[in-house]
Amino acid sequence: MSNLSPAVARDFRDNEVAKAREVFAKHRIIQPDDPGNWQFKDFGDFAKAVSNAHASVPPTHRDRRLQAIQNAGPTQLGSESSGSDGGFAVPPNFATEISRKVMQEDSLMAQCDLRTSTTNDYTFPKDETTPWSTAAGIRVYWEDEAAQATQTKPSLTNGAIRLNKLTALVPVTDELLEDGPALTDHILKRAPEAIDFAIENAIINGIGGMRPKGILASAGVRQVSKESGQASGTILSANVRKQWNALVAVARKRAVWLAHPDADLQLQALTISGASGSVAAAAPAYTCPDATAPYGRLLGRPIRLTEACPKVGTPGDLILADLSSYVVAVKAMRQVMSMHLFFDYDLTAFRFTFRVGGQPWSDAVVPGLQANTIDRGFYSTIAAR
């Protein structure tokens, strides 16, 4: 290099330094605060590294990326006390991907009033008064000029949600582990689907305790009567109109129909009777699916089919619900992998733990302003048929 000009020598040196940095970055042991994938190329790559980290292998001989996770301390390990026992946290980027799929746009939870909690207990203020209430809550008055204003104050109560643990334990065969991309597709698809349905079922049917309090368990659901002489297991247009009328007005523009899949054929055949003469005798209540309502619409509001709804003929087979009036509190999902739980079966276990709780904003029906008007709610169902 002594025969090179200073400029050429400098460029050569800079190029060699850049190459050295690239090699170092590729092989260095990851520091605990590194974000992202911890240098694993995909979820399957991480899984294979953990599967190969048997307890009999000295820590110094393990995958360097796992050494870094183990050296990071208990905050990045699973419930097992050390990495040598098989418990390794899923890298942040892959963990985020699974959490995102659980809360994707078409999940029922994502349509609720979703709150994030850092603790297992979530409290929030509740105001169950109506704008037309004359007894409690914030009220307004028409005042004369220079007259003293009438004072009112909010009528608040404390809502409390206990976040309980929802766990998915997913054993995976060693054969699947050997094919990293297949494992990634399998876990990232099936685990979120199972977690999402469990939460959806709890939002609709939960009875509290270890589960969220469901819509059907709430005193705030308005159940409309069946029609005289109505056959068992049927849904009539009169039922649908009553359900619509049973919702408070503000909830109707946000409402969604939740229906058991077996109810779909009946919904497609519903018609709404009209006046005779120039107006058609019957207009369809159901409209065909579109991009925003893949299961169609009923009275203009989207339908969502779910096995979480009770069978046809049972209260809850068709629910009209304003999901924004249901509050869900969640805590970050924790995801751990262990190769020792089912070691004798040639299986590796993934465990996903999600803290979640929920309840309706209002646990009572809403009285009307005028006398002899019906009470309404944010959810409505049909009585047993």
Using CA atoms, how far apart are residues 103 and 61, in angstroms rounded to an integer? Answer: 39
Note whether residue 193 is domain-resident: no
Note whether residue 266 is domain-resident: yes
Quickly tell me which residue has 């494992």 as its tokens. 183
State pTM to two decimals: 0.71
Query: Is 173 within 8 Å of 346 (Cβ atoms)?
Result: yes
Closest CA to 223 of 295, 147, 149, 320: 320
Note whether residue 373 is domain-resident: yes
Note whether residue 251 is domain-resident: yes
Q: How far is CA 251 from CA 74, 108, 221, 241, 336, in A?
A: 47, 17, 13, 15, 41
Enclosing H/E stretch for 7: helix 6-27
Range(s) of the domain holding residue 276: 217-328+368-382
Quickly tell me which residue has 């991309």 as its tokens. 181
Q: If you ran DSSP here, which 8-state letter would residue 128 be given?
A: -
Q: What SS3 state is found at 316?
A: coil
Note whether residue 158 is domain-resident: no
Return the exposure string of 211-238: e unless at least 16 CB atoms fall within 10 Å of the residue's CB, then b: bbbbbbbbebbbbbebeeebeeeebbbb
Tell me what pLDDT residue 368 has: 74
**Would you say how long the chain is, in residues?**
385
What distance, in Å, lies between the first and last C-alpha atoms of the chain? 93
For residue 167, the cross-strand partners are: 353
Using CA atoms, how far apart are residues 195 and 197, in angstroms rounded to an integer? Answer: 6
Note whether residue 378 is domain-resident: yes
Note whether residue 267 is domain-resident: yes
Neighbours of 292 (CB within 10 A): 7
Quickly tell me which residue has 């009875």 as its tokens. 207
Note whether residue 147 is domain-resident: no
Q: Count of domains in the chain?
A: 1
Q: Could you please report the per-residue DSSP string of 39-91? A: T-SSHHHHHHHHHT--TTS-GGGS-HHHHHHHHT-GGGB-SSSSGGGT-EEPP
User: Tens of pLDDT along the chain (385 residues)?
Assistant: 456 566 656 665 666 555 545 544 444 433 444 455 666 767 667 776 766 665 445 555 566 666 555 544 333 333 333 333 445 666 666 666 777 777 776 789 999 999 988 888 888 776 666 666 666 667 777 777 777 777 766 655 667 888 998 888 877 777 777 766 677 777 777 888 888 999 999 999 998 777 899 999 999 899 999 999 999 999 999 999 999 999 999 899 999 999 999 999 999 999 987 655 544 567 889 999 998 899 999 999 999 999 999 999 999 999 999 999 999 999 877 777 666 556 666 677 778 888 899 999 888 888 777 777 788 999 999 999 9
